[in-house]
Amino acid sequence: MPSEEELYQEHILDHYEDPFHRGNLAGATHAHEEKNPLCGDVVRIELKLDGEGEIEDVYFTGEGCVISQASASMLLEALHGKTVDELKNFSAEDMLELYGPRLTPNRQKCCLLSWKVMQSAVHSPIDERSQS
């Protein structure tokens, strides 16, 4: 069993308290939101894709535990400026590796929430008409 000192490494708490791109993205082209039904953690990701399939900009909002929110920040920082193809190749294992500390299966769900949302978000164009 991992100890909490390992789970809550300093750089993870840094991401939690000072997240990368937390907020809404004006002019977002794609967005998706999901909840972890087990615990109610929620993450929404809004992103802007350019015509070339590059993630021009990406922001997240959400509520939940340190792991769910810090992992969102870490993921966005890692994928900002990358392409949709690179995102598709970024596997669940890659996400767990990016997070670092070994997680029990239940806490893996917290960590993978933003990864799941991100994978769906690039396929979820914002309907312009419903925006107006």
Partner 1 sequence: MSAAAANHSALLPESLREDFPILNGDVLEGQPLVFFDNAASTQRPRQVIDAIRRVYEHDYANVHRGIHTLSERSTELYEQAREKVRGLINAEKRHEVIFTQGTTASINLVARSWGDANLQPGEEILTTVMEHHSNLVPWLQAAERTGAVLRHVPLTEDGRLDMHQFDNLLNERTQLVAVASVSNTLGTINPIDEITAKAHAAGALVLVDAAQSVPHMPTDVQKSDADFLAFSGHKMLGPSGVGILYGKENLLDAMPPFLGGGSMIGEVHLDRFTPAELPAKFEAGTPPIVPAIAMSAAIDYLQAIGIEAIHRHEQVLTGLAFEALSQIDGLRILGPAPEHRTGLISFVFERIHAHEFAQVLNDRFGVAVRAGHHCTQPLHTLLGISASTRASFYLYNTPAEIDRLLEGIAAVQAMFAPKGRRRRKSGK
Kindly list the residues in this chain that would bind partner 1 in the complex (CB under 8 A).
Answer: 1-4, 7-8, 10-11, 13-20, 38-42, 63-67, 73, 77-78, 80-81, 107, 110
Percent helix / strand / coil, the chain, rounded to 5: 45, 20, 35
Nearest residue (CB) to partner 1, 1 versus 128: 1
Q: Which residues are 83's β-sheet partners?
A: 54
Min CB(27)–partner 1 separation in Å: 22
Would you list the DSSP string of 56-87? Answer: EEEEEEEE--HHHHHHHHHHHHHHTT-BHHHH
Min CB(68)–partner 1 separation in Å: 8
Are the CB atoms for 118 and 78 separated by under 8 Å?
no
Min CB(116)–partner 1 separation in Å: 17
Nearest residue (CB) to partner 1, 12 versus 121: 12
Nearest residue (CB) to partner 1, 8 versus 126: 8
Nearest residue (CB) to partner 1, 2 versus 125: 2
Q: Which residues contact 70 (CB under 8 A, 6 or more apart)?
A: 12, 13, 15, 16, 19, 99
Min CB(22)–partner 1 separation in Å: 11
